[in-house]
């Protein structure tokens, strides 16, 4: 099993590059741990808040002899942030057993070069405007709102979203045709 | 737009990694999330998972747009 705690000492010393390496393996399992709450809270905002707190409070993680201590800590933070959001929105009660389902998360594997090649091939086959919308989202890295990206591309916000949706569907179909399941 | 196109656009909007900050610096939920029903929210979750896998697979450091947004907050304050 991959143990992301190999990055923990550097993260605790304030090394953001080490945190980036940890994030590459930790983001998906923390997100997956929020699946049962996805209809109640915006998991993207909960996840980002949890990952920021994991960085801020990494020094609180004490080794317990088991791997992925920081990842398990991040899952607990995400759960607590989500519960706080649930309370604010007064959403219907969620079974605590469901929330604890991902108590022992596994890091995701490093990116697969074959998958990367398949994605690159499928992206290059996209029509121009959907390809532009998809590229704008990826290149922005979450820094800009869609309205800003749309304006840069000379599109109305709804047109941008429609082009992005087309890109997503065509990419999924293309990858499926190559036998790639995401 | 038809209602199905509107629904797809809402789902597409929620899948972005961009989130506004509140007055106390907290990360706010996307406004489109609140316009989706339960099925749409579940679909947005799955679409976001797929999108992040694609983003990470094509990034030299294996980082998705979520990871890059978090790192930007850490580095930029």
Q: Which two tokens stand for residue A101?
A: 């389902």
Tell me if A49 and B26 make a contact (CB, 8 A cut-off). yes
* Residue A121 CB partners (closer than 8 Å, separation 6+): A174, A178
Annotate A84-97 with b (16+ C-beta within 10 A) or e (fewer): ebbeeeeeeebeee
Instruction: Calculate mean pLDDT across residues A17-42.
Output: 97
pLDDT at B53: 96
- Rounded distance between C-alpha atoms, residue A4 and residue A20, angstroms: 11
Q: A4-102 architecture in CATH? A: Orthogonal Bundle (1.10)
Predicted ipTM? 0.96
**Could you read off the pLDDT of B5-64 as tens digits, one per residue?**
899 999 999 999 999 998 888 899 999 999 999 999 999 999 999 999 999 999 999 999
Q: Which residue has the higher pLDDT, B1 or A123?
A: A123
Mutation target among B1, B3, B5, B9 for the A interface, most CBs of A within 10 A: B9
Q: Tell me the C-alpha distance between A93 and A108, whole Å.
A: 30
Nearest to B66 by CA among A47, A100, A132: A47
- What confidence score (pLDDT) does residue A100 get? 54
What are the pLDDT digits (tens) for A97-107? 556 555 678 99
State which residues form the domain around B62.
3-76
What pLDDT sits at residue A62?
87
Q: How many domains does chain B have?
A: 1
Burial class of residue A64 in the structure, from the number of CB atoms within 10 Å of its CB (0-12 exposed, 13-18 middle, 19+ buried): exposed
Sequence-distant (≥ 6) Cβ neighbours of residue A51 within 8 angstroms = A23, A26, A27, A30, A74, B66, B67, B70
Task: Report the C-alpha gap between A74 and A70 in whole angstroms.
Answer: 6
Cβ A47–B66 below 8 Å, yes or no?
Answer: yes
- Whole-number pLDDT of residue A109: 85
Q: Does A22 touch chain B (CB under 8 A)?
A: no
* Closest residue in A to B77 (Cα–Cα): A52
Instruction: Please enumerate in sequence order all residues whose Cβ is within 8 A of that of A116, keeping only pairs 6 or more positions apart, or say none.
Output: B57, B58
Q: Which two tokens stand for residue A116?
A: 């990367």
Q: Which CATH architecture has domain A113-177?
A: Orthogonal Bundle (1.10)
Q: What is the mean pLDDT of chain A?
A: 92
Q: How much is the pLDDT for A111?
A: 82
* pLDDT reading at A19 higher than 90: yes
Taking CA–CA distances from B10, the nearest residue in chain A reads A161
Judged by a CB distance cut-off of 8 A, whether residue A141 touches chain B is yes
In this predicted model, what pLDDT tens digit does every residue of A108-119 receive, in sequence order?
A: 888 889 999 999
The whole-angstrom separation of Cα B58 and Cα A135 is: 11
Average pLDDT of the segment spanning A152-174: 97
Q: Which residue of A has its CA nearest to B25?
A: A49
**More confident site: A171 or B24:** A171
Q: Is B56 exposed, middle or buried (0-12, 13-18, 19+ CB in 10 A)?
A: buried
Short-list A61, A65, A71, A75, CA closest to A2: A71
Query: Between residues 63 and 122 of chain A, which touch chain B (CB distance below 8 Å)?
Result: 85, 108, 110-112, 115-116, 119-120
A42 → closest Cβ in B33, B55, B59:
B33
CB contact under 8 A, A44 and B66: yes
Q: In this predicted structure, what is the pLDDT of residue A95?
A: 60
Q: What are the pLDDT digits (tens) for A52-66?
A: 999 999 999 988 999
Quick check: helix, strand or coil at residue A108? Answer: coil
* Residue A165 touches chain B, beta carbons under 8 Å: yes
Domain edges within chain A:
4-102, 113-177
For residue A35, the chain B residues in CB contact (below 8 A) are 45
User: Region B58-72: what's the mean pLDDT?
Assistant: 97
């Amino acid at each position: 099993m991959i143990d992301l705690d190999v990055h923990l000492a550097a993260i605790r010393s304030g090394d953001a590059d080490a945190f980036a390496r940890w994030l590459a393996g930790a983001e998906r399992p923390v997100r997956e741990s929020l699946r049962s709450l996805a209809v109640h809270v915006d998991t993207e905002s909960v996840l980002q808040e949890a990952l920021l707190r994991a960085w801020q409070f990494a020094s609180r993680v004490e080794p317990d002899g088991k791997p992925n201590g920081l990842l398990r800590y991040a899952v607990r933070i995400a759960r607590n942030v989500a519960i706080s959001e649930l309370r604010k929105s007064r959403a219907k009660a969620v079974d605590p057993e469901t929330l604890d389902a991902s108590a022992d998360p596994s890091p995701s594997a490093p990116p697969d070069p074959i998958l990367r090649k398949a994605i690159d091939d499928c992206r290059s086959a996209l029509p121009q405007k959907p390809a532009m919308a998809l590229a704008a989202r990826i290149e922005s890295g979450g820094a800009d709102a869609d309205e800003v990206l749309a304006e840069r591309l000379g599109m109305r916000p709804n047109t941008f979203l429609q082009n992005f949706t087309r890109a997503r569907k065509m990419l999924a179909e293309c990858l499926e045709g190559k036998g790639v399941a995401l | 737009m038809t209602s199905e196109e509107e629904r797809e656009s809402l789902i597409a909007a929620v899948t972005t990694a961009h989130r506004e900050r509140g007055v106390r610096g907290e990360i706010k939920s996307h406004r489109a999330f609140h316009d989706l029903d339960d099925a749409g929210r579940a679909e947005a979750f799955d679409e976001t998972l797929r999108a992040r896998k694609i983003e990470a697979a094509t990034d030299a450091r294996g980082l998705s747009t979520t990871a890059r947004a978090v790192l930007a907050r850490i580095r930029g304050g």
